Amino acid sequence: ESERVAVLGLGAMGRALAGALLAAGRPVTVWNRTAGKADELVARGAREAASASEAIVGTDLAVVCLLDDSTVRDTLGPIAGELSGRTIVNLTSGSPQQARDQAAWVAAHGAAYLDGGILAVPPTVGTPGAFLLYSGARDLFARVEQAVAPLGRPLWVGEDHGHAALYDIAALSGMYGLSAGAHHAVALVAAVGGDVEAFKRDVLLPWLEQMMPFSAGGAEASETIPEEYNAAMQATGLQTMIDASSEVGVADELAGHLHASLWAMRRALAVSG
Ligand code: NDP
């Protein structure tokens, strides 16, 4: 039989994680601070623990997915004495330093620790596109890789416990930048009475798909901006875009990504002289 996995935290994400493990036929124990969130999982075969302590003691591998870092402290702190010899995989979003501090705290109580970041939303957990970042000792990752694989493709990003959190934040930043840009794009088209759905389908999505391989990276280093789209030309173009946005009455706050790109182009020009 596969190793039993405990899932601590049954928010939207914790429930999706536990559900993906169950769907893969893995034995799962679940726990949540507030009762009532486990019913559907229990109906699908999960065992519900009455306390975090009971969940941890019944398994060697615990996946923790709570609101934030302080919540993880509040949950694990009282059961520190029961952690020895176990493995904690913390998928709660946090900062790199919070991950390193958790790793040190968990190690001080005799347990192994991997920090993780989930690059999926609850409906995509366990589907082919989903993947999760992990950092911590590579041999530990190798030991738990199969156990966590049903959540999404596992990708190890380094020994430093802070790397998964940082790469996760970096990926989210890329996504939020893209969504901010898309929000602004739609606001512009709507401001002049354009057909927003047709714009998204026929212009924005095909354009983004074409440009994604080119648009990430290098904006701060002049030598990486090739002549085909040189920094002076881009700075001029970005200023035109910002001005046009004001011209049609779209809030300048929605154009923050254009200001950031303009800053990067000006900086690249200053560096290149
Ligand atoms: P939810 O708000 O749905 O759930 C929060 C969870 O934290 C609940 O289980 C809640 O328990 C628990 N919790 C909050 N405060 C405490 C506390 N003081 N003590 C014990 N438990 C507590 O959040 P999600 O499940 O969506 O997110 C969980 C983590 O997953 C977050 O770090 C989030 O950033 C990350 N994540 C979420 C994604 C998403 O799309 N949802 C995507 C990628 C990462 P209770 O039910 O008792 O309140």
Q: Quick check: CB of 175 below 6 Å from ligand 1?
A: no
**Tens place of pLDDT for every residue, the chain, 273 residues?**
688 999 999 999 999 999 999 999 999 999 999 999 999 999 999 999 999 999 999 899 999 999 999 999 999 999 999 999 999 999 999 999 999 999 999 999 999 999 999 999 999 999 999 999 999 999 999 999 999 999 999 999 999 999 999 999 999 999 999 999 999 999 999 999 999 999 999 999 999 999 887 777 655 554 567 788 888 999 999 999 999 999 999 999 999 999 999 999 999 898 876
**Closest C-alpha to ligand 1, atom 38:** 121
**Closest C-alpha to ligand 1, atom 4:** 11
How far is Cα 18 from Cα 257, in angstroms, rounded to an integer? 37
Kindly indicate whether the domain formed by 5-159 is annotated with CATH number 3.40.50.1820: no
Atom of ligand 1 nearest to the CA of 92: 32
State the pLDDT at residue 119: 98
**pTM of the predicted structure, to 2 decimals:** 0.90
How far is Cα 129 from Cα 119, in angstroms, rounded to an integer? 9
State the pLDDT at residue 218: 56
How far is Cα 152 from Cα 136, in angstroms, rounded to an integer? 18
How far is Cα 60 from Cα 177, in angstroms, rounded to an integer? 39
Outline which parts of the chain fall under CATH 1.10.1040.
Answer: 167-272
Distance 78 CA to ligand 1 centre (A): 19
Atom of ligand 1 nearest to the CA of 33: 47
Determine the topology of domain 167-272 in CATH: N-(1-d-carboxylethyl)-l-norvaline Dehydrogenase; domain 2 (1.10.1040)
**Closest C-alpha to ligand 1, atom 3:** 11
**Closest C-alpha to ligand 1, atom 46:** 34
State the pLDDT at residue 227: 82
Nearest to 66 by CA among 135, 108, 118: 118
Outline which parts of the chain fall under CATH 3.40.50.720.
Answer: 5-159
